[in-house]
Amino acid sequence: MPDLRKVALFTNEYPPNVYGGAGVHVEYLSRALSKVVPVEVRCFGDQRVDAPNLTVRGYPRWEETTRNTDPRFVGAVDAFNRSLLMAKDNLDASVVHCHTWYTDMGGLLASKLWGVPYVLTIHSLEPLRPWKVEQLGNAYHLSSWMERTAIEQADAVIAVSRETREDVLRLFSIAPEKVHVIYNGIDLAEYRPVTATDALIRYGVDPSRPYVLFVGRITRQKGIIHLVNAIPQIDPRLQIVLCAGAPDTPEIGREMEERVAAVSAGRPGVIWIREMLARPDVIQMYSHATVFCCPSVYEPFGIINLEAMACETAVVASAVGGIKEVVVPEETGLLVPLTLKPGTFDPLDPARFSADLAAAINRVAGDPALQQRFGQAGRRRVEEHFSWDAIAHRTLELYRSLVERHQM
């Protein structure tokens, strides 16, 4: 296998600008890869890092992309612009690795300009997120076109779960041998149970009372409205802690406001934390939660479940996408069945889904022995299957195979 001069990672999110699982993935993957090979990260923002074997260059937004256009178009137009800037800048890497549709076109363009292979990691797919039309308007069709064009010309595609691989093969014209499954990972030293409770107290959570925890964005994909609708059926002895911010649209933000207000009336202990918490604070929240709930309606992998499991917390999650490859039912948590309306990501019976979430949460919360068993088994599972060093090793093997084939 050939040596790699350098690996270039193109990404929208990179610390401190991280708001989702893709950003977490790139942060830890770049760190693990840099133990073995020089890594250059090109990202959206003004970041600048010059560390041994790891450099980071941020690309700020060009104000012209916001001028004289529909505000909903700005995200996609801006992504296209920054992808071009990333691609045209001098590149001395052996391979380019892109993350999310925001930078996928950057990989394709860099491959053409600099004659190197490029690989994409699929963290989600635009055809499976039709609700993005609410956020992007017709620019959703531009984001979908960029994603499709880049995927179908890629030298390789990494799917973060087997089900995501099946989605790629079903939705795009790409040879099966080009689509590889490499899971997300977890930093086992960082994500572990902690005893401190100062963050809980600071955000109004009573450490002496049990609670169910949600962590994620306010978006249709994450299913948070279904969890909120389940609150009246959740054991009233449980606090409900919603670490939920950054609504995709004003409409879902207003819906969240209205539903939380409605279910909180006469029910104490519903705590909505609207800011993005620092990682040590989130780890405290995971560590002391009685049960963690992931009610997503679409989830290619679900890294938040790994985070909870690493902190020895029992998980209740919807049985969709890559979650089924992470959470082992009756071993590390419970999976709640979810049937979607044909051609949509709307539950066929949303009231039933919310009721089933509540029933699963109540079952775990009411059985301390089950909580302990699930929590300990979850920690063992992440230790055995999801370390970042192992994932970086598999990713490097793929890079080397692409470079070797490119040189033939």
pLDDT digits (tens, 9 = 90+) for 53-101: 999 999 999 999 999 999 999 999 999 999 999 999 999 999 999 999 9
Q: What mean pLDDT comes out for the span 243-248?
A: 88
* Residue 9 predicted with pLDDT over 80: yes
The residue written with tokens 């994932």 in the block is 391
> By C-alpha distance, which of 114, 87, 113, 112 is closest to 98?
87
pTM of the model: 0.84
Please indicate whether the domains covering 7-185+387-407 and 198-385 agree at the CATH topology level.
yes
Distances (CA, A) of 95 to 11, 45, 345, 406: 14, 22, 35, 10
CB 407 within 8 A of CB 2: yes
DSSP output for 66-77: GTTS-GGGHHHH
Architecture of domain 198-385: 3-Layer(aba) Sandwich (3.40)
Tell me which CATH code domain 7-185+387-407 carries.
3.40.50.2000
Per-residue pLDDT, 346:
87
- Neighbouring residues of 359: CB distance < 8 A, sequence distance ≥ 6: 233
- Neighbouring residues of 222: CB distance < 8 A, sequence distance ≥ 6: 216, 295, 296
Sign of the C-alpha dihedral computed for residues 169, 172, 178 and 180 taken in this order: negative
Q: What mean pLDDT comes out for the span 372-395?
A: 94
Q: What mean pLDDT comes out for the span 365-374?
A: 98
Per-residue pLDDT, 1:
61
Give me 391's structure tokens: 């994932």
Q: Where are the domains of the chain?
A: 7-185+387-407, 198-385
When pLDDT is cut at 50, 70 and 90, the band that residue 343 belongs to is: confident
